[in-house]
Amino acid sequence: MGIRDDRATFAPTVDFEDEESYRRYDTNPQHVRLRAGCLAPLCSRIDRVQLPLRYVTRDMASLHETGPTTAG
């Protein structure tokens, strides 16, 4: 949209089953090398936002994946 000058250029979104899954991903040596060697040099800053989705049910998650349907 370009409303703010200090906005991010891109933002990957990743969902994890639980905190332990995230921690394994975040400390994985290949991921750490990729982040430090490839991504960090291209970015003026890296921000992270972590939101627990405690109230999302499996039905809501499947709606997100498949999109809404209309009853006919």
Helix, strand, coil shares of the chain as percentages rounded to 5?
A: 45, 0, 55
Q: ∠ CA(2), CA(65), CA(70), 5° rounding? A: 100
Residue 42 has pLDDT above 60, yes or no: yes
> Residue 20 pLDDT more than 60?
yes
Say yes or no to pLDDT of 38 above 80.
yes
Rg (alpha carbons) of the chain, rounded to whole number: 17
The pTM of the full predicted model, rounded to 2 decimals, is 0.57
Report the run of H or E that residue 30 belongs to, with start and end: helix 29-34
pLDDT above 60: residue 65? no
How far CA 70 is from CA of 9, 13, 33, 63, 67, in Å, comes to: 34, 27, 45, 12, 10
The residue-averaged pLDDT of 33-58 equals 82
